[in-house]
Structure 1
Amino acid sequence: MNQDEMNLNRTVKDDINLVSKHKLWNNQHADEKTLGLLEKDTRYFIPQSLSTQCLDVLRRAEGASLESVSGKRYIDFHGNYVHQVGYAHPRIIENVVKQLQKLPFSPEQYTNKPAIKFAKKLASLAPSNLNRILFTTTGSSAIAMALKLARAVTGKHKVMSFWDYSHVTSLDTMSVGGESFWRENKGGIVPTETINIPPPITYRGIFEDNESKCLEYIEYTLSKEANIGAFLAETVRNIDVQIPSKNFWKEVRALCNKYGVLLILDEISIALGRTGYMFAFEHYDIEPDILCLGKGLGGGIYPQAAMITRDDYNHLTELSLGNCTFEKSPVGAVAGLTTIEIIEDQNLLKRAKKYEAFIKSSLETMKLNHTIIGDVRGIGMLWGIELVKDRITKEKASNEAEKILYYCLEKGLNFKVFYGNVLQLSPALTISRDELNIALNILNEALMKIQ
């Protein structure tokens, strides 16, 4: 095994910045100006996996695309999941600029109309009595607030979550998530006592294609482990696109009710139309007790996140859950409210469902034509292509995935590779049919090149 293969295997998310092809890409495709800026980036930022070293230097982001300082354009199928309404939406920019000129900040112990309007809108979108909101600036903070609230409501301090699910990156949220990548070299991260369980994976894992066994495991654990107050999970797992059945989530909801456990759904990366509904849990006809939002909630312009919970829990006034400096940011509220209005006014939920059928058909055709594709799975505008060397053994085709990525980058398509062999595709909901066709054709060309 060479050093590149060791690096790909060592890193759970298998980020390309650790392998030699990354530097080769920069040397072959970057001009002198870009290389100079990349060198300065390396000089001044603390290097960390998943973000450094960088692939390129950007100067513009608009609609479904990115543009580098050298003028190269990429159709962006990643976007850190903030680009549901596309980049630089003129309506968000206009409203944010107007707000900046009137009230750019709202200090603690004050409120403002934009924050109230935004909270009211979110409450109107959520079902039944999910009417209580707290705003913050990061998904990590939203999860942390949810965990504190669950402990206060139930009086129980333990949390159940799935292995391999990432619930963002602060020390307390890392201790709850079961993603080993985020735990590496962090020491004893146990601010929250967590029971991790194997997830209901459809293509790999010990419960492969057997959700009933996963449900048995969950109930067995809940029946034996005292003081579990919360079950935290992504409704649909984002990074490698795992989609449980409707029955699975209905049974989990029933088990939480039976054992007095609050269901916390992390939809930081998958809400706001990504799956074809405003919230992913709407696919399953269930309700969470606490919902966490983030990423695209600020329209790709402002760092905006939120926790939504039930009126029932509105009796803990002495408890400080977040006390965020930018909790009621009028700028963030305007960005968030405008984002939701755009999703509604431009019928982006309907658009995502329409494109779902087209993307599924295109990827399934690729699977028929390319034996390297072991599995295609997706929902709305979130898709995963799992590459394997052999469909029977399911050995990961990590080196091939990396070659495909760099070919696509060269041709103008950007996406992320997770777990070494899963191509994750999440375009802007506003992407045009022509752009979608171009992107999928580039991907198909890349698959043909590595056969």
Structure 2
Amino acid sequence: MDASTHTNSQTFIGKEARFGARNYAPVAVVVDHAKDCLVWDVEGREYIDMMSAYSAVSHGHLHPRLVAAAERQLRKVAVTSRAYYGTTLGPFLEKLCQLTGMPRALPMNTGAEAAETAIKCARRWGWKAKGIEDGRQEILVARGNFHGRTSTIISFSSEADYRAGFGPLATGFGHFDFGDMESVKAAAGPNTCAVFVEPIQGEAGVIVPPAGFFKELREWCTANNVLLIIDEVQAGLGRTGKWFAFEHEGIRPDGLVLGKALGGGLLPVSAFLAREDVMEVFSPGSHGSTFGGNALAAAVALEGLKVLEEEGLVARSAQMGEYLIAQLRDVQRASRGLIRDVRGRGLWVGVDVEPSLATARELVERLANAGVLSKETHETVIRFAPPLTITRELIDKAVAALRKVVVQKAAELGLPEHRTDTAQASA
């Protein structure tokens, strides 16, 4: 950032650095306010939001209908706990079940909580429905997975940094290679009760599985009486150009985890949904959350679902996503090998940087200086996941900024203009 912007920004950055735990490494932009796809920092500088809080702000920042729904509910009641019935939870769950095709939903707050709910459900189902000895149930998960950061979830992460020093780790998980059915079959055993998987691996770098994998996985799970539970915390609710990413292969899971965009960018809302016989393993006292399904969250989430539906944001994601990917592949072709791949679906795209030439973090910081907000993952991939309300004009501006950053970096490295690679040739 320019030296003239440091004083005010550094005040806030300094306070977080001084008093906050050092478990994040944010890009040095101090957000003051936002509207739809635009963000302004404390100095008044404007940015295009190409991250939308990891898909939590899919509706755009402070969507007026969602703000109005929150304000209406705040004048009535916000939190009572699930000790009583309310007027907003039932309608929200009804709408959510209609859209997903699932008969029952269990509301929680964060995506990680919903993932934990799915794990508990799968284990109890394995015990009750399959007769697996309690304590021996096994859930298959993909290498490179990311489902949250709770102690149970990091126990089955394949990332050493997520696990180191947090033992003793939970057991009961087997690993397979994402997109590889033979690996799934090899990992399975008599105590396998579920496969828990993302439809696209986000934190791993927006990894899209090979065509047909989920259809084959669905068939295998059905044939072997194994639950297929799909985590669509990031992928769901229109992000990939369909309501849910599993629809790209015409399948239906036995359990579904949702979050992020479910809260409309205003507050944390998540849910675990499942077929009737799976969800009935829960009984009063077996699971719950003080804030899960609170009146305010349910009111906002219901309005958020209506906005996605009535404003055609799912179809818009497909249309704008196709355009974004095409534009980013043009940048790749001009990158002189600095960008080795562009992959994604809908408005969820990973730009894979050649690690021998630059880090994704360096390019993300340069993009921020150019007025575009994004975020790296694993130092090799820049993630682009703008609000579903993004316009072609804003996409053009963001991509133009990336092109300038990439071309400048390639020139600094002295890369020849004719440089290419296999990914570029096939793009």
| TM-score after normalising by structure 2 | 0.89
Distance 2:379 2:27 in 1: 18
Q: 2:198: which partner in 1?
A: 234
Q: Judge conservation of contact 2:235–2:244 (CA < 8 Å) in 1.
A: yes
Q: Judge conservation of contact 2:108–2:292 (CA < 8 Å) in 1.
A: yes
Give the superposition deviation at 1:95: 0.8
RMSD of the TM alignment (CA)? 1.7
What is the 5 A alignment of 1:381-392?
381-388=347-354
Q: Gaps (5+ residues) in structure 1?
A: 1-24, 201-213, 389-395
SS in 1 for 2:358: helix
Please list the CA deviations of residues 156-203 of structure 1 after superposition, one character each: whole Å capped at 9, or x if unmatched.
41111011111101111222333333212212211x411122223xxx
Q: Gaps (5+ residues) in structure 2?
A: 411-427
Distance 1:365 1:54 in 2: 26
Q: 2:43: which partner in 1?
A: 70
1:71–1:320: structure 2 CA closer, same or farther, 3 Å change rule? same
Distance 2:147 2:295 in 1: 27
1:320–1:284: structure 2 CA closer, same or farther, 3 Å change rule? farther
Distance 2:168 2:176 in 1: 19
Distance 2:289 2:300 in 1: 18
Give the superposition deviation at 1:52: 3.8
The alignment status of 1:363 with 2:328, answered yes or no, reads: yes
Q: Judge conservation of contact 1:58–1:68 (CA < 8 Å) in 2.
A: yes
The alignment status of 1:61 with 2:34, answered yes or no, reads: yes
What is the 5 A alignment of 1:73-112?
73-78=46-51, 79-112=53-86
Give the superposition deviation at 1:97: 0.7
Amino acid at match of 1:165: N
1:398–1:337: structure 2 CA closer, same or farther, 3 Å change rule? farther
1:368–1:185: structure 2 CA closer, same or farther, 3 Å change rule? same
Q: 2:178: which partner in 1?
A: 199
Q: Judge conservation of contact 2:121–2:282 (CA < 8 Å) in 1.
A: no
Give the superposition deviation at 1:377: 0.8
SS in 2 for 1:60: strand
Give the superposition deviation at 1:328: 2.4
Amino acid at match of 1:199: F
Give the superposition deviation at 1:215: 1.1
SS in 2 for 1:133: strand
The alignment status of 1:140 with 2:112, answered yes or no, reads: yes
Q: 2:302: which partner in 1?
A: 337
SS in 2 for 1:66: strand
Q: Which residue of 362, 374, 381 corresponds with 2:340?
A: 374
Q: Judge conservation of contact 2:263–2:270 (CA < 8 Å) in 1.
A: yes
Distance 1:444 1:293 in 2: 34
Q: 2:418: which partner in 1?
A: none
Q: Which residue of 144, 149, 154 corresponds with 2:121?
A: 149
The alignment status of 1:36 with 2:11, answered yes or no, reads: yes
Amino acid at match of 2:113: S
Larger mean Cα displacement after TM superposition, 79-88 or 51-60: 51-60
Q: 2:256: which partner in 1?
A: 291
Distance 2:318 2:282 in 1: 41
Give the superposition deviation at 1:139: 0.9
Amino acid at match of 2:184: I
Distance 2:39 2:287 in 1: 34
Q: 2:415: which partner in 1?
A: none
Q: Which residue of 163, 186, 208 corresponds with 2:166?
A: 186
The alignment status of 1:274 with 2:239, answered yes or no, reads: yes
Distance 2:26 2:325 in 1: 33
What is the 5 A alignment of 1:114-263?
114-127=88-101, 130-155=102-127, 156=132, 157-190=137-170, 192-200=171-179, 214-222=180-188, 225-239=189-203, 240-263=205-228
Please list the CA deviations of residues 111-152 of structure 1 after superposition, one character each: whole Å capped at 9, or x if unmatched.
21210000000110112xx21111011111101111111111
1:55–1:327: structure 2 CA closer, same or farther, 3 Å change rule? same
SS in 1 for 2:88: helix
Please list the CA deviations of residues 253-279 of structure 1 after superposition, one character each: whole Å capped at 9, or x if unmatched.
111122221111011111111001111
SS in 1 for 2:272: strand
Q: 1:21: which partner in 2?
A: none
Distance 1:176 1:291 in 2: 19
Q: Which residue of 251, 256, 265 corresponds with 2:230?
A: 265
1:166–1:400: structure 2 CA closer, same or farther, 3 Å change rule? closer
Distance 1:321 1:446 in 2: 53
1:299–1:53: structure 2 CA closer, same or farther, 3 Å change rule? closer
Please list the CA deviations of residues 290-316 of structure 1 after superposition, one character each: whole Å capped at 9, or x if unmatched.
100011110110110000011123433
Distance 2:41 2:364 in 1: 17
Amino acid at match of 2:190: A
| TM-score after normalising by structure 1 | 0.85
Distance 2:276 2:211 in 1: 26
Distance 1:315 1:357 in 2: 40
Q: Which residue of 361, 375, 379 corresponds with 1:402?
A: 361
Distance 1:39 1:404 in 2: 23
Distance 1:177 1:113 in 2: 39
Distance 2:5 2:165 in 1: 33
Amino acid at match of 1:97: E
Q: Give identity over the alignment, percent.
A: 26
Amino acid at match of 1:126: T
Give the superposition deviation at 1:53: 5.4
Q: Judge conservation of contact 1:246–1:283 (CA < 8 Å) in 2.
A: no
Distance 1:356 1:131 in 2: 31
Q: Judge conservation of contact 2:121–2:279 (CA < 8 Å) in 1.
A: no
SS in 2 for 1:430: coil
Amino acid at match of 1:414: L
User: How many residues are matched?
Assistant: 399
1:320–1:233: structure 2 CA closer, same or farther, 3 Å change rule? farther
Distance 2:278 2:221 in 1: 16
Q: 2:290: which partner in 1?
A: 325
Distance 2:187 2:282 in 1: 33
Distance 1:153 1:258 in 2: 17
Q: Judge conservation of contact 2:257–2:271 (CA < 8 Å) in 1.
A: yes
